[in-house]
A and B are shown apart, each in its own frame.
Chain A
Amino acid sequence: MIRRAKDIDELTPWREMTLGGEIYEPATSQYVNTGAWRTNTPVLDTEKCRHCLLCVPFCPDSSLPVKDGRLVGIDYYHCKGCGICAEVCPFGALSVKEGGEP
């Protein structure tokens, strides 16, 4: 029985892996906790945020989710803490603190 992507890991036997490295599901990378990489963490001040969304396209990790024209938060499961968003924010609503904890 061939497993779904999120159930394939370094212990999966060859008969249960997809053939030739194919994957038949979209965006399976979402299961990877790249947020664990962080050594610095961005913090969103929702009072200051004007939802200009200028930070959103600058995030290499698609970790600034937008809904109905508003920035709804930071995807800490994936955010790597690069700090570009804080640099770009014209309103000082994003700042970077030390440490990986959100």
Chain B
Amino acid sequence: MNYNERLSGNEAIAFAMKQIDPDVMAAFPITPSTEIPQYFAQYVADGEVNTEFVPVESEHSSMSACIGAEAAGARAVTATSSCGLALMYEMMYVAASSRLPITLACVNRALTGPININNDHSDSMGIRDAGWIQIYAENNQEAYDNFLQAMPIGEHPDVRLPVMICQDGFITSHALENITLLDTDSVKAFVGEYTPENYLLKKENPLAIGPYDLGCHYMEHKVQQAEAMKNAKARILEVAAEFEKVTGRKYGLFEAYQMEDADLALVLIGSSAGTAKAAVDRLRKEGVRAGLIKLRVFRPFPAEELAEALRHVKALAILDKAESFSAHGGPLFSEVRAALYDLEPRPRTVGYVYGLGGRDVTPDHFRSVYDRLARIAAGGDLGPVYTHMGQRE
């Protein structure tokens, strides 16, 4: 049963956690994700959840405690942003390689230097190689819905990988939106119980995790992990299909907006897609065949599906809300362009890095991108493939 509410992104995540009632939450505060453990701590204080709340002394310890709890046979969740995620870096790799389906709510915030508390994707992009499934949200509804799907995705025996549910800091986390929630009983039925085959507290046989792998074993364990990440794609779609049956809301690997006949397109992630859709609508009224793809799943990266969806596009801009300082483009740019490589013909492609440290992006910014794409599609020069958008020159 769906019902309507008005919640901020952080409230929605905390509420989703409450409905799921995980066994352990180990978290440390950091803006703008702080509210999540705060709201949750109140649920604990009021006896509304069965969760053991572990107020750890750092984010490195929150991930360590989550690893311990999940390995013990419990569902463990946490939330963080920016430097907190960076501080967990070492442990993120351990969580994924230990094949533990921990769920982390990442409220995206720029990484320090200089310190900045506003939104960009440098935190979750910086950790993209750790082996976590990464799913992004455009708005509060998606953040809530994605969080409910996380555990059925990660806990499946063919996957057994941790899942990061991302939302834009302040923009979605602190903004109230009307959203549709699922009733708690249905949530519990949807996520089911966590029933690992082996776990530390199991009576019938012990479990040893975290070995030292000699060179003759490490690569094989990593290949297993790579296979699991490949399997995750199908599982994400399976879970989305089940979710649609229960809620009527449809999710995929990405959202293709006005893409069927698009000549000019953008690929981007997160809340900016909402702004970009407004630009697309305006252009469509003017008769421009503009469209966009809002990527939902970044890890595993849906290369084949994106190539298929972008096959017919004449000119494409890939927008990164994070730098990777490759001197050639952001992380999304590199991966999307690589996915298009084998297409013949392939879209002419440029990249932009925008929105760093919460720098605002407006429909006019997107319009200028589409104007450039139109010139490129008409046979004009590509121009510089890697530029920034939104800075003062």
Interface residues of A (CB under 8 A from B): 9-10, 12-15, 17, 19-26
User: Closest residue of chain A to B208, judged by CB?
Assistant: A23
User: Closest residue of chain B to A11, judged by CB?
Assistant: B216
Q: For the complex formed, measure the closest distance between the CB of B386 and the CB atoms of chain A, giving whole angstroms.
A: 38
The answer for the CA separation of A25 and B206 in the assembled complex, in Å, is 6
Indicate the member of B207, B208, B211, B214 with the most A CB atoms within 10 Å.
B208
Does B99 belong to the interface (CB within 8 Å)? yes
Which residues from B are CB-within-8-Å of A10? 214, 216-217
Query: Given A10-B216, A12-B220, A14-B223: A21 and B211 within 8 A (CB)?
Result: yes
List 25 A-B pairs, Cβ < 8 Å: A9-B216, A14-B220, A14-B221, A14-B223, A14-B224, A15-B224, A17-B217, A17-B220, A17-B224, A19-B99, A19-B221, A20-B98, A20-B99, A20-B225, A21-B98, A21-B209, A22-B98, A22-B198, A23-B207, A23-B211, A24-B198, A24-B205, A24-B206, A24-B207, A25-B206
The answer to whether B220 touches A13 (Cβ under 8 A) is yes
Give chain A's interface secondary structure class.
loop
Interface residues of B (CB under 8 A from A): 97-99, 160, 198, 205-211, 213-214, 216-217, 219-221, 223-225
The answer to whether B205 touches A25 (Cβ under 8 A) is yes
User: Closest residue of chain A to B71, judged by CB?
Assistant: A22
Which residues from A are CB-within-8-Å of B211? 21, 23
The answer to whether A26 touches B206 (Cβ under 8 A) is yes
A-B contact count (CB 8 A): 53
Q: For the complex formed, measure the closest distance between the CB of A14 and the CB atoms of chain B, giving whole angstroms.
A: 4
Which residues from A are CB-within-8-Å of B214? 10
The answer to whether B207 touches A21 (Cβ under 8 A) is no
Which residues from B are CB-within-8-Å of A20? 97-99, 160, 209, 221, 224-225
The answer for the CA separation of A61 and B220 in the assembled complex, in Å, is 30
The answer for the CA separation of A29 and B309 in the assembled complex, in Å, is 53
The answer to whether B99 touches A26 (Cβ under 8 A) is no
User: Closest residue of chain B to A27, judged by CB?
Assistant: B206
Which residues from B are CB-within-8-Å of A24? 198, 205-207
Which residues from A are CB-within-8-Å of B210? 21
Indicate the member of A10, A12, A24 with the most B CB atoms within 10 Å.
A24
Which residues from B are CB-within-8-Å of A26? 205-206
Query: Given A24-B207, A25-B205, A26-B206: A19 and B224 within 8 A (CB)?
Result: yes
The answer to whether A21 touches B216 (Cβ under 8 A) is no
Which residues from A are CB-within-8-Å of B213? 21
The answer to whether A22 touches B223 (Cβ under 8 A) is no
The answer to whether B160 touches A19 (Cβ under 8 A) is yes
The answer for the CA separation of A14 and B97 in the assembled complex, in Å, is 14
Which residues from B are CB-within-8-Å of A23? 207-208, 211
The answer for the CA separation of A99 and B97 in the assembled complex, in Å, is 43
The answer to whether B220 touches A22 (Cβ under 8 A) is no
Besides A21-B209, A23-B208, A24-B205, 16 new A-B residue pairs in contact (Cβ under 8 A), listed by A number = A9-B216, A10-B214, A10-B217, A12-B220, A14-B219, A14-B221, A19-B99, A19-B160, A19-B224, A20-B97, A20-B99, A20-B224, A21-B217, A22-B98, A22-B207, A26-B205
Which residues from B are CB-within-8-Å of A17? 217, 220-221, 224
The answer for the CA separation of A24 and B204 in the assembled complex, in Å, is 10
The answer for the CA separation of A52 and B225 in the assembled complex, in Å, is 51
Which residues from A are CB-within-8-Å of B198? 22, 24
User: Closest residue of chain A to B228, judged by CB?
Assistant: A19
Which residues from A are CB-within-8-Å of B216? 9-10
Name the 8 nearest CB pairs between A and B, nearest first: A14-B220, A10-B216, A20-B99, A21-B211, A23-B208, A14-B223, A24-B198, A26-B206
Which residues from B are CB-within-8-Å of A13? 220
Which residues from A are CB-within-8-Å of B223? 14
Which residues from A are CB-within-8-Å of B208? 22-23
Q: For the complex formed, measure the closest distance between the CB of A48 and the CB atoms of chain B, giving whole angstroms.
A: 39
Which residues from A are CB-within-8-Å of B219? 14
User: Closest residue of chain B to A9, judged by CB?
Assistant: B216
Indicate the member of A13, A14, A21, A26 with the most B CB atoms within 10 Å.
A21
